[in-house]
Amino acid sequence: MHNADGPAAVTDDERRAFVAEAMAFLEANAERRVRRTRFVWGEGPDELGLMGGRDEGDEDARLAAARAWRAKVFDAGFGWLGGPVAYGGAGRSPELDRVYRSLEADFDVPDQGAWGVAWEMVAPAVLAHGSEDLKRRFLRPIHRGELLCSQLLSEPEAGSDLAGLKTRAVRDGDEWVVNGQKVWNSYAHKADLGQLMARTDPDAPKHKGLTMFLLDMASPGVDPRPLRQMNGNAEFNEVFLTDVRVPDADRVGEAGTGWSAVLTTLMSERAAVGSGKTASSVDAPSMVVELARHLDRAGDPLVRQELAEVVTHQRLIEWLTARSESAVAAGRERGAEGSIVKLVSSRQNRRIADLAARLLGPAVTADSGEWGTYAWARYLCSTPGLRIAGGTDEIQHNILGERVLGLPR
């Protein structure tokens, strides 16, 4: 239930009733994951990648399975529990979305990771800044899994200075004509919808002349080209935009107010990246502890100190994430705390990767076939990317200094 001050807290009785309802749906439609009662070195997967999915198998088939599962979840009433009824949500407490995700994690269902941009980043911007028409046209399909989204924000020459983008959108009647180039666009080669930032007023101060649009990725003039990363993945792209026409009805907010809309996206993205929602399927903090034990290094005082730092910071990330999500559940937009989560998380990734590399030595660079050794190579090659995703560490420091500590620019 919602009230004037935001969503009401879920009572114990409501939570128990919801868990029973959700479990009945999951038991009827999916198989439980086989959970190991204790960790055994060498058993199960040792996949330790970050930043997206794997290349093996048929990508189209995986995405189709994810779409079908999400539609089933949504139609059963569990797809957007905290969303407004008018836009396709269930009108219940956002807390129940987290409860459902924790329950679903115990079942073998298609990977929904490709839709993280849609649910965690694009949808919040549309809900907070979009017109009534946009909300009604796009929010339900996004949360039902019908629309795979990609962010078209970063540019080759802008670096971390998103407001320095050069892609231009020029008004032509009821449309805008867009020309420019974007980069680091997750799943742009498969996406249905792009969250596009463009400069619409070149004479205004750089933060004031920007506008956000929702772009049909099948539009003429949209040319995505995959980029292969050093971790072996290719879910990122560069996107060339040549005389692309976007209806004015697909503009998010008033022209020139795109910076406010993109801040909603960036704060949501930082919280998602920092919380580990984009992380690997294996628990890397626990895995590095077991690696030290396997190599008989857990008794080394210096190694034990580093392991303690890993465990401590993992708890900090969990608590910071819970605090951030509680604020959202109370009806507030994400603030600078997203930068805290993201910054602590990127440091944690480097801490884990560096420790694993020191423990393994050359074994991390050569695939000997031994379980739990070369698997760390992909994790090690992915950690630099997470320093950049959602804004570099330097940008997070600036945000915290200016907006939290009140320091001068």
Which residues are catalytically annotated?
269
Amino acid identity, position 125: A
Q: Count Cβ atoms within 10 A of the Cβ of residue 5 and give its class: 0-12 exposed, 13-18 middle, 19 or more buried.
A: exposed
Residue 404: C-alpha distances to residues 63, 115, 265, 401 (Å): 40, 31, 19, 6
Q: Under 8 Å CB-to-CB from 289, ≥6 apart: which residues?
A: 298, 307, 310, 311
Amino acid identity, position 280: S
Residue 391: C-alpha distances to residues 161, 361, 406 (Å): 9, 31, 20
Distance CA 341, CA 272 (A): 9
Residue 68: C-alpha distances to residues 63, 119, 138, 381 (Å): 9, 16, 18, 32
Q: Count Cβ atoms within 10 A of the Cβ of residue 331 and give its class: 0-12 exposed, 13-18 middle, 19 or more buried.
A: middle
Element (DSSP H or E) covering residue 169: strand 168-172
Helix axis angle for 337-360 and 301-329, nearest 10°, is 150
- Cβ atoms 193, 230 nearer than 8 A: no
Tell which residue, 136, 117, 135, 124, has the closest CA to residue 193. 117
Return the structure tokens found at 377: 């190579």
**Three-class SS state of 263:** helix
